[in-house]
Amino acid sequence: MTNNFNKNVREKALELLQRIEKEGAYSHLLLNHVLSHGQVSKKDESLLTELVYGTIKRKNTLDFYLTPFLKNGIDSIEPWVLQLLRLSVYQLVYLDRVPDRAVIHEAVNIAKKRGHKGISGLVNGVLRSIQRKGLPRTNSLSGIERLAIETSHPEWLLEDWIAAYGEKEAKAMALTNLDPPPLTVRVNLSKSTKEEIKNKLLEEGCQIEEGALSPDALIITSGSVITTETYKNGYVTIQDESSMLVARLLQPEPGMRVLDACAAPGGKTTHLAECMEDKGSINAFDLHKKKIKLIEEQAKRLGLSIIEAKAMDARELTAHLDEQFDRVLVDAPCSGLGVIRRKPELKWQKQKENLERFPKIQADILAEASKLVKPGGMLVYSTCTVRKEENEDVVEAFLSQNNLFKRERNEFLANTLQAEHGQKTILPQQFGTDGFFMALLKKQDL
């Protein structure tokens, strides 16, 4: 056994995998909870994270590997046993640092503890057979079936991406989704300069690279940023680089009135306030009352005072507000398929049929929020998905019904992203950021 080998960490991983599959829980929230409550030792934190994310990310492929070794098929075994087998095959195939015999030994022990002798025998038999006979090959598969196993994505999703972006991009996107996402922070320029913040983080033991896309971004390549004083004192916010482009695209200025229609947990609201040097006002709404405190907590940590957060359905804004705003942000609820790297269970939890509800909600929110834009004011519509139905199509339909609005060219989008028309889809493989969509719309000055 190696030093890394710890019994509890695998049982914990199994427990989380079961909850994610059974309850539809989010991996990142569960993991954050377990890690922040010290439920595994410090030295096992990265292994737990790797086991949980890795097993979810490769689910399709792991099931393909297991199938020939299960006489009555994968559906014949109890869900927890299947999770244990997936977790173990993941280690056998993808983790060099753990010896195979230790993986099998531990899996059998967990099976004995949780099940009866028959189950531990099955687990032992399947894992030893895989070790002896080797993995099945994908050569016999063709087309979409093969791509689905080799990239570990559902076929319907790959078919959608191929239809939208072509086979090469679809494959690149699926492969990028298997990579670990970067940890990126946004510097709070209302408090200090980027250079000073960078130095503070370096002094506190973080290693840093410049962001690829956003001038506000620093990539943390090692170190625990969340425990630094720099983080606690509001100099940085954890945010993906694509998301950081949104507030800049909206171009809020100090003193303006700004509306953020779908604001929780407040990542973009607080960025807007920073860009405004905490001068002016921001009305931040979200449908879910319990999420409002997340916005308030972030504003407090960052020392921002101009944000007023409140629960509200953005489809009914005009029933509650009669003033108009210089800037309006609609960062709409969406299928989230641009952030599969961070939430890998999304690709298994979402079904094509569940996605059909989004364009209508998005269109309703956009139409309602647009009524509150001042003449000459600007609106940004954004999502963290890569589905055209939720992105380009929603904007196109909106513009065809609202001729006071036009897409507005933006220097940054044009120069950095070659997007001449104030609208851009970013795919995760292009810059290593989350997949994202944003459109800048300007209301005609009367």
Q: Which residues are catalytic?
A: 384
Residue with smaller CB distance to ligand SAM, 111 or 264? 264
What is the closest distance, in whole angstroms, from the C-beta atom of residue 118 to ligand SAM in the complex?
46
What is the closest distance, in whole angstroms, from the C-beta atom of residue 271 to ligand SAM in the complex?
8
User: In the block, which residue shows the tokens 């979810």?
Assistant: 56
The contact set with ligand SAM (CB under 6 A) reads: 243, 261-268, 285-288, 291, 313-315, 331, 333, 365, 384
- 264 is annotated as contributing to ligand binding: yes
**Residue-wise over 219-237: b if at least 16 C-beta within 10 A, else e?**
bbeebebeebebbeebbbb
**Six-digit token pair at 182?**
């970067």
- 44 is annotated as contributing to ligand binding: no
Alpha-carbon distance of 372 to 377, in angstroms, equals: 9
- 268 is annotated as contributing to ligand binding: yes
Residue with smaller CB distance to ligand SAM, 6 or 382? 382
Q: Concatenate the DSSP letters of all residues of 123-181 into one string.
A: HHHHHHHHHHH-PPPSTT--HHHHHHHHHT--HHHHHHHHHHH-HHHHHHHHHHTTSPP
DSSP category for residue 214: -
Alpha-carbon distance of 246 to 260, in angstroms, equals: 12
Residue with smaller CB distance to ligand SAM, 14 or 187? 187
Residue with smaller CB distance to ligand SAM, 58 or 268? 268
**Six-digit token pair at 383?**
């999502």
Alpha-carbon distance of 71 to 413, in angstroms, equals: 55
Rg of the chain in Å (alpha carbons): 24
What is the closest distance, in whole angstroms, from the C-beta atom of residue 402 to ligand SAM in the complex?
19
Residue with smaller CB distance to ligand SAM, 263 or 366? 263
6: left (phi over 0), alpha (psi -120 to 50) or beta: beta
* Bridge pairing between strands 436-443 and 405-407: antiparallel
Residue type for 261, please? Answer: A
**Residue-wise over 398-435: b if at least 16 C-beta within 10 A, else e?**
beeeeeebebbebebbeebbebeebbbbbbbbbbbbbb
- 286 is annotated as contributing to ligand binding: yes
What is the closest distance, in whole angstroms, from the C-beta atom of residue 145 to ligand SAM in the complex?
33
What is the closest distance, in whole angstroms, from the C-beta atom of residue 293 to ligand SAM in the complex?
13
Annotated binding site for S-adenosyl-L-methionine: 262-268, 286, 313, 331
Annotated binding site: 262-268, 286, 313, 331
